[in-house]
Structure 1
Amino acid sequence: MLRSIVEYYAEHGGYRCGYCRSPTTNFSHGMWAHTLTVSDYQDLIDRGWRRSGKYCYKPTMDVTCCPMYTIRCRALEFKSTKSQKKVLKRFNKFLMGQNESEAEKGRKMSTCSSGSEVLGEGFEEGVEQYVETTREPQDMNIAEIQSCQMERLNEIIDSNTKGESSVQMDVNTLPKEASTNVQKPIKKDTGPDPSKAPCKKAKQLRRERKLEKLKEKGIDVSSLNTTSKNNEKQIEEFINELPDDVKKKLEIRLVRTTPPSPEWLATSKETYEVYVKYQTIIHDDKPEKCTEPKFKDFLVRSPLLEEFSETGPPCGFGSFHQQYWLEGKLVAVGVIDILPKCVSSVYFFYDPQYMHLTLGTYGALREIEFTRQLHTVCPELKYYYMGFYIHSCRKMRYKGNFAPSDLLCPETYKWFPLKDCIPKLELSPYSRLDPDIDSVDTNYPTERDIGYIPVYLNGAIMTYKAYKRKIGTKKNDSADEVQEYAILAGAKAAKSLILAR
């Protein structure tokens, strides 16, 4: 039978915070995990614990300078934002061999069905520039301002139209000073031309072109729902919409790191090299801090035991690396734990050469898609844990963009939607997120629970009450410390974990 064995450390703190850079305000509790079953670790992270290598820690939320709230994304309900969709599309275009200029062409100019052309982003940027440049110094007279404004506006229109179409600017859109000496054009008609078809939006035109391509391939499009606004494209569709003849092949391999699999051992050198590039260039770490032993202690060695079950995923539970291979070259690695209820993200690093592809966001989206994929064979597995959400640190709020997400209440250990928690966190960095003042921690250990905590001593396992009888009144035992450990771990985990003394 697989068992978890841990050593508990009392609260320690007064060390440097990695978020606000305060030198002595970070506090947490810790335990060294010799081994951990995946179910025990699932219980621990649902009480605010996280692991770094074999070391598990739980921030002292009401004391530490930057409270860290456990955050999880409801992967089955995940809705990608516009910016996240752009990341997926940009990556797909990269795989298809399209450079940035080619990718932008479609957005620069869209065509109306009537045949008239609409100016693209270049014109919009020019107008913004025009508005900005009308803010002249106060000592210029009105005539000079009017002349300057009109010259700049004409330059913008000329540079964007390039002689391909004539553009008539309504003087009502100009600032009042610039329009005083301009003769207003006489409007011959009012309203749209009834003899011409109405202009279509670019999105509708793209949909029609896509349907035409499907028809050319012999696909029946009559049964496709092309008008429903609720028929939103899912993340899998963005990932799988690539044609078969992509110019650059991306392969994602899942390799087990603990115990080391042959696949991991064969690729350990390449993985370490990417890690060093990432840490030294992206995080500006000194090379001496990125030694191979430290890398393995941090991101390879794990306390999680390898477990398989009939209801679990084919790869089993435990600790893995998701390797991103581009044309046979390792470009990114996602360090993950696969647990009974979730995929837990530990770390993500990539080759800085591909920074322009926003690989951090792309990796998170692929891990959400992977979570949804595992759910099809393991119904209980339906969450994506992203570590900690730190609202007091602006750069760490990005995790809230993966919605819908929940935060763990630090007092009752119940989950609440992030959007409902934001107002409380705006008022105070530390907050009880449970709005029910009568709600309590249902996993709080009783005195009886503490008595049945398994304890390991001199090669034997016994209950804590038997352990106290055995050692008598020896000074090395601390009842308060064991009680603190039980409260932090929760009654369920405390009665399952074996506490080494």
Structure 2
Amino acid sequence: MLRSVVEYYAEHSGYRCGYCKSPDTNFSHGMWAHAMSVTDYQDLIDRGWRRSGKYCYKPTMDVTCCPMYTIRCRALEFKATKSQKKILKRFNKFLMGQDPGQEPGDAGRKMSCSSGTDEEQLGEGQEQFVNSNKEHHTIDVNAVLSNSKMIEQTVNENNISVSANSGESSQLSVPNNTRDLAHHKEAKKDLGPDPTKPPCKKAKQLRLERKLEKLKEKGIDVSNLPKISKNKEKQVEDFINELPDEVKRKLEIRLVRTSPASQEWLATSKETHEVYVKYQTIIHGDKPDKCTEPKFKEFLVQSPLLEEHRESGPACGYGSFHQQYWLDGKLIAVGVIDILPKCVSSVYFFYDPHYMNLTLGTYGALREIEFTRELHRSCPEIKYYYMGFYIYSCRKMRYKGNFYPSDLLCPETYKWFSIKDCIPKLEASKYSRLDPDIDSTDDNYPTESDLNYIPVWTSGVQGSSGVMLYKAYRRKNHKRADDSDEVMEYARLVGTKSAKSLILFR
């Protein structure tokens, strides 16, 4: 059985906030994950934890300057907004060789025009990683896991994505004054539509005609087909699949496993790092020494998640992956994701700034929602798309609420509530208990007796080492200062279920 091994950090002093930029008002708890099963990590993010590399952190919600609420989108019910549909259409036009509105390479475009997904990632992921560079022990994980078999029967085990005449001189004179302008407008109005040209057709009608033509070519009698309802709302998949067979630009999205490193990842690691450096230095203004290959790998490649395959799971398995966006054989963007038992969790997204005008951050999020729905078809348990943290007190971070419908996690009862119901509470107070039921409690809150059944890995305790339950550890370690307060703090943060599943290094 796959087991998780973690090292808890009790200290959690204030450090720089990636959102309001305050130097010492960001507080969180942290632990280093030497190994982590996907089931355990699913349970942890459902209690407000997130990972950055192998470092896992949980914001101290009632103390930190910018409270970070875990947000998830109900992918199966997702409905794209008008602006999100425009992004999908613009990208399709780009692939078909049409002008999407602005040529790629306009690096001078303001950040407000790029996607919010990219704006937030530095504060949410990399800032946490930079400030959590604590020393951790080197542990032989295999030895820990082999020694854990002796206590498995006593520990609770977990059950278990321009005009028509462009280029020609106008026949109407350019007005020189206001009176001429009025006459000019009226003259133009009187002209009406050009009777020599057919009426313009909407893009929707043109797409339908193309589809019918393809069916006719295949010998299908289209006269007997049911009429398409005009009220049917297009889904993300419809926009992605509506491209004609022949396009001028080819987009390919490859899913490659990063931990353990797959051959596909190793073959493309240099190109991936090059895109990352461009993104961090141009979009976020980082210095090159912050974007070295080792730091990049620690942040976005190395993962504690153990590779796992199940008969009822997705064909690619569970764990950590990169979704690579290849345009005509060139890598232009990368989405870092975790595939977990109930969701696809977005870790980070970066892209080549040369393609900033395509709003790749939002486009990537929409493709990841579509990917979650695709995984659901083979693995019904996967229903959600986790977008990290929602920070209402930071205006530019509110965009995640535009992925409808979404829920926020209550920081006190760890139950989910529609973001629409939470907004009034967050408007009144930065930190808020989102659960309206005053009698509701945390169902996963540990008791004193639960401490006895926390598995711990010890090294050199009175000449012995191995995995044992905490009650046995305390008996053998009675001469040392009692650390039960620290262990109880850890258990409350991870919850009873995880506390009895994770192996705690002491």
- Whether the TM-score (by the shorter chain) exceeds 0.5 is yes
Q: CA RMSD in A?
A: 2.4
Which residue of 2 is the match for residue 460 of structure 1?
466
Which residue of 2 is the match for residue 37 of structure 1?
37
Question: Residue 61 of structure 2 contacts residue 411 of structure 2 at CA under 8 Å; is this kept in 1?
Answer: yes
Matched position secondary structure for 2:62: coil
Alignment of 1:284-363 (within 5 A): 284-363=285-364
Q: 1:401 to 1:101 in 2, by over 3 A?
A: closer
Q: 1:268 to 1:208 in 2, by over 3 A?
A: closer
Question: Residue 215 of structure 1 contacts residue 221 of structure 1 at CA under 8 Å; is this kept in 2?
Answer: no
Q: C-alpha displacement at 1:13, in angstroms?
A: 2.6
- Quote the Cα distance in structure 2 between the aligned partners of 1:262 and 1:482: 40
Alignment of 1:368-407 (within 5 A): 368-407=369-408
Q: 1:11 to 1:425 in 2, by over 3 A?
A: farther
Q: 1:257 to 1:100 in 2, by over 3 A?
A: closer
Which residue of 1 is the match for residue 436 of structure 2?
435
Which residue of 1 is the match for residue 22 of structure 2?
22
Q: 1:292 to 1:207 in 2, by over 3 A?
A: closer
Q: 1:101 to 1:81 in 2, by over 3 A?
A: closer
Question: Residue 50 of structure 1 contacts residue 56 of structure 1 at CA under 8 Å; is this kept in 2?
Answer: yes
Matched position secondary structure for 2:10: strand
Q: C-alpha displacement at 1:449, in angstroms?
A: 1.4
Matched position secondary structure for 1:243: coil
Q: C-alpha displacement at 1:210, in angstroms?
A: 3.9
Q: C-alpha displacement at 1:151, in angstroms?
A: 5.6
Matched position secondary structure for 1:443: coil
Q: 1:312 to 1:302 in 2, by over 3 A?
A: same
Question: Residue 271 of structure 1 contacts residue 333 of structure 1 at CA under 8 Å; is this kept in 2?
Answer: yes
> Identical aligned pairs, as a percentage?
73
Which residue of 2 is the match for residue 490 of structure 1?
495
Question: Residue 15 of structure 1 contacts residue 27 of structure 1 at CA under 8 Å; is this kept in 2?
Answer: yes
- Quote the Cα distance in structure 2 between the aligned partners of 1:463 and 1:401: 46
Which residue of 2 is the match for residue 82 of structure 1?
82
Q: C-alpha displacement at 1:296, in angstroms?
A: 0.3
Structure 1 portions without partners, runs of 5+:
111-146, 167-199
User: Higher relative contact order at CA 8 Å, sep ≥6: structure 1 or structure 2?
Assistant: 2
- Quote the Cα distance in structure 2 between the aligned partners of 1:381 and 1:224: 32
Q: C-alpha displacement at 1:148, in angstroms?
A: 7.4
AA aligned opposite 2:90: R
- Does 424-433 or 450-459 show the bigger shift? 450-459
Which residue of 1 is the match for residue 92 of structure 2?
92
Q: 1:251 to 1:205 in 2, by over 3 A?
A: closer
- Quote the Cα distance in structure 2 between the aligned partners of 1:474 and 1:309: 43
Q: 1:96 to 1:372 in 2, by over 3 A?
A: same
Matched position secondary structure for 2:29: strand
Question: Residue 211 of structure 1 contacts residue 221 of structure 1 at CA under 8 Å; is this kept in 2?
Answer: no
- Quote the Cα distance in structure 1 between the aligned partners of 2:207 and 2:371: 27
User: How many residue pairs end up in the alignment?
Assistant: 423
Q: 1:222 to 1:11 in 2, by over 3 A?
A: farther
Matched, 1:478 2:483: yes
* CA shift digits 1:324-369 (9 cap, x unpaired): 0110000000000000000000000000000010000000000000
Q: C-alpha displacement at 1:24, in angstroms?
A: 1.5
Question: Residue 11 of structure 1 contacts residue 28 of structure 1 at CA under 8 Å; is this kept in 2?
Answer: no
Q: C-alpha displacement at 1:450, in angstroms?
A: 1.4
TM-score (norm 1): 0.80
- Quote the Cα distance in structure 2 between the aligned partners of 1:210 and 1:294: 47
- Quote the Cα distance in structure 1 between the aligned partners of 2:409 and 2:10: 22
Which residue of 2 is the match for residue 126 of structure 1?
none
- Does 241-250 or 44-53 show the bigger shift? 241-250
